[in-house]
Amino acid sequence: MIEPWDESKWGPLTEENMRRKLMAQGYSVARYVYPKGTVFSDHVHSVDKKDAVLEGEFLITLEGEEFLLRVGDSIEVPRDAVHSAQVVGEESVVSLDAVKEVPVPE
């Protein structure tokens, strides 16, 4: 399910505020820019993650259901969930790719 940006909780939508939100939820965050036409075919990850969009539009197909992420949207992608993604429209997508941090056993 798409989680839209909530300015009342997180302030104005900026890269710094989106990064702060994801880190507060326990994620490590990396920034990526995907040019128009970028397509990622079906794949899985061995970790829980979130994709968040700062610019452009990103179509995510997650377990067969399509989600169109626009500026400020994020979506949780559970570990081992089959998904694909593609940049739609004429703009590149600026995305924060967030990976759930796994506690290290002591």
pLDDT of residue 101: 79
Taking CA atoms, 63 is separated from 44, 60, 69, 93, in Å, by: 10, 10, 16, 22
In a domain, 92, yes or no: yes
Flag whether 105 is in a domain.
Answer: no
Give the range of the structural domain holding residue 41, as residue numbers without chain letter. Answer: 2-100
Structural domains of the chain, count: 1
Tell me if 43 is assigned to some domain: yes
**CA 40 to CA 26: how far, in whole Å?**
25
Does any domain span residue 106? Answer: no
Dump pLDDT digits (tens) for 31-65.
Answer: 999 999 999 999 999 999 999 999 999 999 999 99
* b/e per residue 10-33 (b: at least 16 CB within 10 A): eeeeeeeebbebbeeeebebeeee
pLDDT for 67:
98
In a domain, 86, yes or no: yes
Q: Closest by alpha carbon to 49, among 34, 33, 68, 30? A: 30
> How is residue 12 written in tokens?
């104005």
When pLDDT is cut at 50, 70 and 90, the band that residue 105 belongs to is: low
**Range 22-35 average pLDDT:** 96
